[in-house]
A = this chain, B = another copy of it.
């Protein structure tokens, strides 16, 4: 019921961006209901359209729905003896976000600037996916902690060569939320914004 209702409420109704941002939460409890293929595709489409340094689009998304593979991936996100990431096994979809080699000029720029730009790009594309999911009434959670080598091997991800090895940067769980996730707490605006100089006040 809730699932269908939330689809009707969200899927075709445009939300203003600040509301959408507040609506997106890290969802750590999922219903079993599968994600409709058209919604899944629209989430991937949102990621596809993301901007990136020199438009390298250094990403690849592996959509895992197979029960067996999902539960093995979920196992690889656990810390022994901890409940951390236990929810991952519930999600009907896990998406592995693979960092692909950016353009050579971007790799060189990243080295000189000492900032691996591709991670900014991956964050942006992953968030596009999560925001589109939120708009459609779906829940997501980004997971950065997992046994990368074993996930890469499980999903048959080739290592790549040269300056930039292929990496698995993130896992994203996707599905209908099982309950209302807790509200996100954020620092107040005045503590994260300065005017003209660091620590400067104004406005």
Partner-B contacts on A (CB < 8 A): 14-22, 24, 26, 37, 41-42, 44-51, 53, 55, 57, 59-66, 69, 98, 109-110, 113-117, 119-124, 126-128, 130-132, 135, 142, 144-146, 148, 155-158, 167, 169-170, 184-187, 189, 192-200, 203
| Contacting pair A41 B119 (CB below 8 A) | no
Q: How far is the CB of A156 from chain B (nearest CB, A)?
A: 5
Copies of the protein in its oligomer = 2
CB-based nearest B residue for A195: B63
CB-based nearest B residue for A70: B196
| Contacting pair A196 B16 (CB below 8 A) | no
Most chain B Cβ neighbours within 10 Å, of A20, A22, A123, A127: A123
* One of B66, B115, B198, B203 near A158 (C-beta < 8 A): B198
Apart from A60-B193, A60-B198, A115-B167: 16 A-B pairs, beta carbons within 8 A: A17-B46, A41-B189, A44-B189, A50-B127, A51-B184, A55-B185, A60-B194, A61-B194, A63-B193, A63-B195, A98-B198, A115-B119, A120-B122, A120-B123, A120-B170, A123-B123
| Contacting pair A197 B115 (CB below 8 A) | no
* One of B42, B63, B69, B187 near A57 (C-beta < 8 A): B187
| Contacting pair B192 A60 (CB below 8 A) | yes
CA distance A145 to B158 in the complex (A): 30
